[in-house]
């Protein structure tokens, strides 16, 4: 059998998983791996901060549907991955993150750059491993990838003691993974699905609520089929955006704290809620007692623990979302559903009325409105760009006004709400999809959290475009202060910011600025049309608010409106 | 859902005997605000598998979440819930009780009634070994308390399903 070093076994195992892209940052504990890595055909992207590496791998995974891969050193390198892991964990994104570790003999000694990264990351990974025997290495890598991508996906961490990387061992590729303690259910129970048929037949005010699980399971075509066949309107969570075509007449927009009026009203008034790949986050449900309280709820999800965690459910269905939708659609083929249009007519008319009386709205005056920037961006790119977002008002306006056409195109930190996610995620998405226009919609606060990654984009010639909605505030927090804290803007003023145009130039990139409404379109056209990385700054209305808004914990029908 | 109701439940959890598995289970309970009344772990007949017996509190909704979350841990092979099932339950307690000349006879009488044993005798203390279900141990402790308990150590409950007769 072939004898290889631990580092070589690691890389060989990665190659077997089809890995050709790694985001990382070197250091003493992983120097042996880096020494070998540069001799393989893999592309390594050197980030400027390990948090950036994890978010980039995350963006890569979301844009490609593949597992994102990271390599960092021990100690501070490892701790810098924690925010990225928690982000991916909350949004069920498949990652394998490899951390260096001090040699086995030093573990527990408070050695230089030693941390118990297993202990630290246990609650924010799907699973984690430390390799304590070089003979286990290939198996662990195989298992890690399998765990990351199967079932409800998530990040898996592998801790790699340095001495093991230098040891030699025979290498044999591993076969299939079979873990008796881990057997996700893909195929839903047919009897449960059959119970949904009479509900669909009888419902007069049905609604589909789709979440990230639809995107992750590649189920958006089946979702669209179900909606059209049964003439059922669709709303999605933030994570579900892109899972349903936004130009369809059945589309209601996003639901929840900043959901559209019609989506929130429909969720409240529906008599049947088919929830697919969602976990009923509090930002979606608002007050749980009044949430969809008139509806029978069908909940399809691959993770049994998501079901009945927050919301009582009439029909639980555990399984892969795409597969469950496909089976449901096939069952429906046999049904007489011609009268659906008629049966749901009054319901659709009601929704139309909600839409026309309370649309998303803003008024563009003398100062640039952030919504106008996003709307113009959407028009110029015909909804065809991959959008990443930062967190805050910018994220919500992006969700409301940029209508992505396809799944895997709206990349945002939903569960963790992690500022600093958008730029590195855009870098990862651009690596995954070199053919696509990738735009990070950013706030002036968030962009500064991982601004160092501009250097990464420039170094690798990644033509990411960043749109900064500069309101000189930590706007979303300021919005809460304006509405609920008597306008006491405690520590949310961001008046001191860099000159973003000069900053871009300092990194060797193009920087553009628009200060007046009429400059918005030219700047966007110029920036989007330019080669390479571009930072565009828009001086927007400082105190604009995101509407609708449901105060935290209130019923989602109690919206503050423009 | 509310975590407050105080029904007790015994869970028997078979896990892969991996380093860190106890931390995963304990972390799950603390991280999600679930309750652990007692927990005991040991190998089973298969050395790669350990059994954890966990006594927890909560209403049925909480219990359902606990079981689902446990099952979600990659190292958990199986979760058995003894709620509403016929099971045998035992706990072992070692109790160091004051045994002065004037109350020695009384201590021994209790030991006899409860069919437990004195396993260590000192000039001032007897150490009593007591096995039983929660009720029995509670009753013994109540009765012996007035005599003065110096130290006590308990294993927490162990449980197995009853065989159908
Ligand atoms: C890492 C991190 N720290 C703090 C927060 C809390 N937070 C949520 S939104 C927000 C303001 C973001 O400001 P900016 O990026 O300028 O976006 P805006 O809301 O102004 O569009 C803050 C501080 C967070 N979500 N993430
Ligand atoms: Mg801002």
What is the predicted pLDDT for the residue at B3? 44
For residue A308, list chain B residues with Cβ-Cβ distance below 8 A. 61, 64-65
Q: How many domains is chain A partitioned into structurally?
A: 3
Shortest Cα distance from A78 to chain B (angstroms)? Answer: 18
CB pair distance less than 8 Å for A182 and B74: yes
A181: nearest CA in chain B? B77
Is the torsion defined by CA of A49, A51, A57, A62 positive or negative?
negative
Domain boundary residue, one of A170, A205, A240: A170
Mean pLDDT, chain B, rounded, equals 93
Within-domain flag for A263: yes
Do A400 and A342 share a structural domain?
no
CA of A476, closest atom in ligand 1: 19
B-chain residue closest to A182, CA distance: B74
Whether A47 and A70 map to the same domain: the answer is yes
Task: Tell me: do A436 and A520 sit in the same domain.
Answer: yes
**CB distance from A18 to chain B under 8 Å?**
no
* Domain shared by A260 and A407, yes or no: no
User: Is residue A26 a part of any domain in this protein?
Assistant: yes
Domain-located, residue A522: yes
Binned at pLDDT 50, 70 and 90, residue A335 comes out as confident
Please check whether residues A269 and A334 belong to one and the same domain: yes
Closest CA to A196 of A321, A296, A72: A296
CB of B17 less than 8 A from some CB of A? no
Closest-lying ligand 1 atom to the alpha carbon of residue A444: 16
Which bound ligand lies closest to the C-alpha atom of A545? Answer: 1
Shared-domain flag, residues A237 and A311: yes
Query: Is residue A453 annotated as a catalytic residue, yes or no?
Result: no
Residue span of the structural domain in which A412 resides: 370-539
Q: Which domain-ending residue is among A312, A329, A357?
A: A357
For A437-492, write each residue's pLDDT tens digit.
999 999 999 999 999 999 999 999 999 999 999 999 999 999 999 999 999 999 99
A64 and A100 assigned to the same domain: yes
Q: How far apart are CA B76 and CA B41, in angstroms?
A: 13
Quote the pLDDT of residue B52: 97
B1 has a pLDDT exceeding 70: no
pLDDT tens, position by position, A233-258: 999 999 999 999 999 999 999 999 99
A184 is a domain residue: no
In a domain, A349, yes or no: yes
Q: State pLDDT tens for residues A268-300.
A: 999 999 999 999 999 999 999 999 999 999 999
Residue A207 sits in the same domain as residue A119: no
Does A363 map to a domain?
Answer: no
| CATH number reported for the structural domain that contains residue A96 in this entry | 3.40.50.970
- Residue A274: inside a domain: yes
Set A3, A112, A183, A505: catalytic member: A112
Residues B49-69 pLDDT 10s: 999 999 999 999 999 999 999
| A473 close to ligand 1 (CB < 6 Angstrom) | yes
What value does the CA radius of gyration of chain B take, rounded to a whole number of Å?
A: 19
The pLDDT tens digits for B122-148 are 999 999 999 999 999 999 999 999 999
Above pLDDT 70, what percent of chain A?
100
Distances (CA, A) of B146 to A136, A221, A456, B101, B127: 57, 73, 73, 15, 16
- Kindly give the distance from the C-alpha atom of residue A434 to the centroid of ligand 2, in angstroms, as a whole number: 29
Do A219 and A340 belong together in one domain? yes
Residues A225 and A197 in one domain: yes
| Domain limit, last residue, from A357, A386, A419 | A357
Residue A303 in domain: yes
Q: Give yes or no: residues A118 and A8 share one domain.
A: yes
Residue A8 has what pLDDT?
A: 98
Same domain for A341 and A398?
Answer: no
Q: Is the pLDDT of residue A307 over 50?
A: yes
Which CATH number covers residue A326? 3.40.50.1220
Chain A residues with CB under 8 Å of B65 CB are 305, 308-309
In short, whether A475's Cβ falls inside 6 Å of ligand 1 is yes
Of A181, A303, A308, the CB nearest to B77: A181
The mean predicted confidence, pLDDT, of chain A is 97
- For residues A338-367, average pLDDT: 95
């Amino acid at each position: 059998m072939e004898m290889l070093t631990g580092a070589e076994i690691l890389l060989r195992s990665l190659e077997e998983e089809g890995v050709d892209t790694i985001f990382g940052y070197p250091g003493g504990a992983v120097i042996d791996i880096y020494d070998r890595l540069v001799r393989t055909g893999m592309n390594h992207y050197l980030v400027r901060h390990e948090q950036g590496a994890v978010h980039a791998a995350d963006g890569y995974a979301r844009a490609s549907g593949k597992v994102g891969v990271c390599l960092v050193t021990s100690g501070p390198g490892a701790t810098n991955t924690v925010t990225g892991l928690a982000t991916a964990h909350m949004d069920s994104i498949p990652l394998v993150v490899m951390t260096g570790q001090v040699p086995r003999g030093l573990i527990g000694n408070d050695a230089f750059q030693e941390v118990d990264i297993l202990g630290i990351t246990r609650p924010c990974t799907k699973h984690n491993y430390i390799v304590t025997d070089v003979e286990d290495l290939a198996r662990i890598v195989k298992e890690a990838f399998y765990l990351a991508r199967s079932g409800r996906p998530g990040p898996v961490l592998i801790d790699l003691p340095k001495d093991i990387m230098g040891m030699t061992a025979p290498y044999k590729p591993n076969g299939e993974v079979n873990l008796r303690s881990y057997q996700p259910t893909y195929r839903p129970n047919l009897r449960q699905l059959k119970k949904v048929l009479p509900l669909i037949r009888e419902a007069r005010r049905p609604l589909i609520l789709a979440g990230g699980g639809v995107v992750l399971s590649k189920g958006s075509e089946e979702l669209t089929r179900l909606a059209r066949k049964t003439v059922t309107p669709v709303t999605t969570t933030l994570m579900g955006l892109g899972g349903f075509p936004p130009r369809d007449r059945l589309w209601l927009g996003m639901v929840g704290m900043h959901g559209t009026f019609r989506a929130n009203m429909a969720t409240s008034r529906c008599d049947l809620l088919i929830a697919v790949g969602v976990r009923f986050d509090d930002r979606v449900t608002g007050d749980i007692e009044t949430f969809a309280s008139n509806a029978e709820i069908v909940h399809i999800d691959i993770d049994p623990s998501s079901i009945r965690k927050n919301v009582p459910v009439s029909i639980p269905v555990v399984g892969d979302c795409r597969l469950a939708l496909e089976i449901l659609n096939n069952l429906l083929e046999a049904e007489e559903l011609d009268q659906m249009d008629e049966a749901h007519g009054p319901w659709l008319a009601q929704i139309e009325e909600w839409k026309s009386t309370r649309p998303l709205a803003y008024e563009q005056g003398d100062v640039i409105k952030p919504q106008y920037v996003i709307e113009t961006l959407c028009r110029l790119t015909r909804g065809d760009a991959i959008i990443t977002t930062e967190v805050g008002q910018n994220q919500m306006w992006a969700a409301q006004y940029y209508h992505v056409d396809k799944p895997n195109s709206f990349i945002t930190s939903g569960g963790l709400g992690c500022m600093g996610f958008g730029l590195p995620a855009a870098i990862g998405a651009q690596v995954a999809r070199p053919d696509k226009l990738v735009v990070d919609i950013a706030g002036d606060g968030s962009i500064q959290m991982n601004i160092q990654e501009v250097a990464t984009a420039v170094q690798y010639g990644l033509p990411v475009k960043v749109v900064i909605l500069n309101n000189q505030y930590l706007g979303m927090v300021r919005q809460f202060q304006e509405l609920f804290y008597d306008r006491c803007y405690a520590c949310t003023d961001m008046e001191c910011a860099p000159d973003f145009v000069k900053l871009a130039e300092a990194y060797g990139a193009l920087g553009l600025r628009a200060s007046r409404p009429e400059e918005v379109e030219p700047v966007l056209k110029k920036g989007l049309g330019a080669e390479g990385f571009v930072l565009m700054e828009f001086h927007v209305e400082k105190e604009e608010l995101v509407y609708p808004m449901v105060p935290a914990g209130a019923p989602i029908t109690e919206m503050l409106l423009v | 859902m509310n975590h407050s109701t105080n029904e007790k439940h015994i869970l028997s959890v078979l896990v892969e005997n991996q380093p860190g598995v106890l931390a995963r289970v304990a972390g799950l309970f603390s991280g999600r605000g679930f309750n652990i009344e007692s927990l005991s772990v040991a190998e089973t007949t298969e050395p790669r598998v350990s059994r954890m017996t966990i006594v927890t509190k909560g209403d049925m909704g909480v219990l359902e979440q606990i079981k689902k979350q446990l099952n979600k841990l990659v190292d958990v092979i199986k979760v058995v819930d003894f709620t509403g099932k016929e099971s045998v339950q035992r706990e072992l307690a070692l109790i160091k009780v004051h045994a002065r000349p004037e109350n020695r006879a009384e201590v021994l009488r209790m030991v006899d009634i409860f069919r437990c044993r004195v396993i260590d005798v000192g000039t001032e203390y007897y150490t009593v070994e007591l096995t039983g279900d929660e009720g029995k141990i509670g009753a013994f402790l109540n009765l012996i308390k007035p005599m003065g308990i110096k130290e006590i150590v308990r294993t927490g409950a162990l449980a197995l399903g009853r065989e159908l007769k």
